[in-house]
Chain A
Amino acid sequence: MFEELIGKRSNPVQNTIERGAVRKFAEAIGDPHPVFTDPAFAAEKGFKANIAPPTFPVTFDYGIIEGLDLPKAGLIHGEQNFEYQRPLYVGEALHCYREIEKYQERKGKLGQMGFLFIKSTAEDKNGEIVMTATQTIILSETVRKGMKG
């Protein structure tokens, strides 16, 4: 059911990394370190700005993949990875988009399960890819069957 969406990409959305959002996120993961929150600390350590925690890109808007209609309930987040060329800075604007990378089905604990791999990308103002993230979403047989109806 997802095969025809493989390679489909969302329209890019511009996301600006906001200072307050980074501070709240750092607090929410119990890591309110001054490298994320305090401009004076960042300057002293030689950073051009505060940086964002490595999992902060979950907050970005990556746009909508046309035709991708996932159920609201019953999805399992199986795996997640992030790859960086460099840290992301508070204040910078990123162009973010996502695509369906692949889809597989195999028998597992939850019947004939579906594995959907969504790749998210962030490009900086020079058009350089600075971050990619891949998320694996698991759909149980029950959830998959619910979608077909």
Chain B
Amino acid sequence: MNLRAKKPGDSLESMELPPVSRLDLIKYAGASGDFNPIHTIDEAAEKAGLPGIIAHGMWTMGNLGKLFTPYVGEGFIEKFSVRFAGMVFLDDRLTLSATLKEAQGARQTYEAVVANQDGGKVIKGEIVFKMYGE
């Protein structure tokens, strides 16, 4: 299965993530260097007026990118733009999805979304995938 064969309106296989855990966010803090405690420590989140710790937006964005990883042999992500439209809390069950909007020459533009268990969009994004060799 390759991306080149996709037509506007086609989607990539969506992916449901395991419920967000504190360990996910601790690992991301360590790997990214973003140690803002609102992502890992309850008291810090509460002090900031949040009902609980929230995921790093960049953790969620990083996850979204993996929809395209199986296609690395065909090309690469040329543009990856997102708006962080909602907060992600512990135990949220997120679904990653991407639908082809437009294909032009070597470039395909996908609408990419991360939604929570209530259907709320926490990321609204766009990914331009550029094919090699064109």
Contact = CB atoms under 8 A, between A and B. Distances in A.
Contacts of B69: 31, 33, 35, 53
A77 B84 contact: yes
Contact of A84 (B63, B66, B77, B84): B77
A72 B36 CA distance: 8
Given A24-B30, A30-B17, A80-B57, A74 B76 contact: no
A74 B82 CA distance: 20
Contact of A45 (B27, B61, B73): B73
B28 A28 contact: yes
Given A35-B69, A51-B72, A54-B80, A80 B28 contact: no
Can you list the 9 inter-chain pairs with the closest CB atoms, starting with the nearest?
A: A29-B62, A81-B81, A28-B31, A31-B66, A55-B62, A24-B31, A28-B27, A25-B31, A28-B28
Interface string B41-63: 00000001000000001110111
B76 A77 contact: no
Nearest to A76: B84
Contact of A81 (B62, B76, B80): B80
Nearest to B79: A83
A31 B72 CA distance: 13
B62 A27 contact: no
Interface in A81-104: 81-84, 86-87
B81 to A, nearest CB: 4
A29 B82 contact: no
A112 interface: no
B65 A53 contact: yes
Interface of A: 21, 24-25, 27-31, 33, 35, 45-46, 51, 53-55, 58-59, 72-74, 76-84, 86-87
Contact of B79 (A21, A72, A73, A82): A82
Nearest to A60: B33
- Choose among B27, B31, B61 the residue with the greatest number of A CB atoms under 10 Å from its CB: B31
Contact of B59 (A21, A29, A83, A84): A29
A29 B57 CA distance: 12
B82 A58 contact: no
Nearest to A25: B31
B72 A27 contact: no
B76 A87 contact: yes
B79 to A, nearest CB: 5
B49 to A, nearest CB: 9
A33 B65 contact: no
Contact of B78 (A27, A45, A84): A84
B31 A80 contact: no
